[in-house]
Structure 1
């Protein structure tokens, strides 16, 4: 995998330092529990929020690393998912990497246009006939829209996952494609890669 555009050292150091802070906070809470009047609930919530922040920082960094060798339009994708998130418009965007996706998806409507955030946002605008399916991106081009992706069997019966999230997982389980997904219920953004979903912070 090509990470030529990624300098891991600063990010790894930052994450190591923040994980150490979480460990230290947990140890302090453990020590404080000897005091019968001590309530740790509030502090545990702060630690949880800190850990989620670490997870998102790492996800944002690796997302860029995974995409950089395959598209120059990462900024356009970032603006798109930020706007979809703010408006609570659902979205499903497949970025093809090395693996061919033939046979994994049910092809949709050809688009054949340059990748811009405004075009992507218009595709996912509620009421647009193409908004329910997945957009396929190859290089710097929007290849097609309204594609149907395979659903993950692993998520069947799990109420935490909607159809878009199951589709992101399903394709990522079968290929090295990266799949961005925006929840229309919560506005939260995540990406599917190699059979896992990772939350990303749209504020960065």
Structure 2
């Protein structure tokens, strides 16, 4: 697989369009600042929401860039995330990249199966004995489930993080693994990479 290939042209074009919309909104606000009858607070609220959408679209784009060189099964992962998000089934998926994970993970139950979205979803189905831990993915296979990750001791912004998100951040602070999280409370999808936690848009992962 070509590790320098990060095209995803339709997604990239959409991101450029979103950024241009924010720039135009800021420019419009700048041009109307001298109008005393025009309150910009409403404009700022809309622009803030546009910024949030741009951040999520950018995270979605880069998630694909980070995933595609290390697994050809990233569309299967995407389908799994979408389905789990819709059902609010919590999940934690570690995608191994270059670094060894052995020093940082407490090993779980070996699976050693070809990756598919249905298998991933079944592992995280509520009540499954393996659903609370992290699934380890290497290349196109599910290596193991119920792995225990190190927990981060920091919060992100003003938000207190749940255990899955702290585990995702904790591992990403120690190695180059990419860790995907689905919140069972909100169904929202995030990924942790290089010590950062990024929300992504549902419906645009592939």
Cα displacement (A) at 1:13 = 6.4
Gaps (5+ residues) in structure 1? none
Moved more, 140-149 or 44-53: 44-53
Equivalent position of 2:71 in the other structure: 71
The CA RMSD measured in Å over matched residues stands at 2.3
* In 1, Cα distance between equivalents of 2:12 and 2:43: 25
Cα displacement (A) at 1:42 = 3.4
Equivalent position of 2:50 in the other structure: 50
- Helix, strand or coil: the match of 2:173? helix
* In 1, Cα distance between equivalents of 2:79 and 2:12: 26
Q: Tell me, yes or no, if the aligned pair for 2:12 and 2:61 is still in contact at 8 Å.
A: no
Cα displacement (A) at 1:115 = 0.6
Equivalent position of 2:186 in the other structure: 186
TM-score where L is the length of structure 2: 0.88
Change (3 A) 1:157 1:5: closer
For residues 17-50 of structure 1, the C-alpha deviation after alignment (integer angstroms, 9 at most, x for no partner) is 5334313312323443444443434332321222
* In 1, Cα distance between equivalents of 2:60 and 2:156: 27
Number of residue pairs matched by the alignment = 203
* In 2, Cα distance between equivalents of 1:90 and 1:138: 21
* In 2, Cα distance between equivalents of 1:70 and 1:179: 13
* In 1, Cα distance between equivalents of 2:156 and 2:195: 14
Cα displacement (A) at 1:144 = 0.7
Change (3 A) 1:201 1:11: closer
* In 2, Cα distance between equivalents of 1:49 and 1:78: 25
Equivalent position of 1:87 in the other structure: 87
Equivalent position of 2:195 in the other structure: 195
Show the 5 A alignment for 1:13-162: 15-155=15-155, 159-162=159-162
- Helix, strand or coil: the match of 1:174? coil
Q: Tell me, yes or no, if the aligned pair for 1:182 and 1:189 is still in contact at 8 Å.
A: yes
* In 2, Cα distance between equivalents of 1:183 and 1:143: 22
Change (3 A) 1:11 1:116: closer
* In 1, Cα distance between equivalents of 2:149 and 2:9: 36
Change (3 A) 1:197 1:153: same
Q: Tell me, yes or no, if the aligned pair for 1:78 and 1:202 is still in contact at 8 Å.
A: no
Moved more, 158-167 or 178-187: 158-167
Cα displacement (A) at 1:7 = 2.5
Change (3 A) 1:22 1:157: closer
For residues 35-78 of structure 1, the C-alpha deviation after alignment (integer angstroms, 9 at most, x for no partner) is 44434343323212222222222212211111111111011000
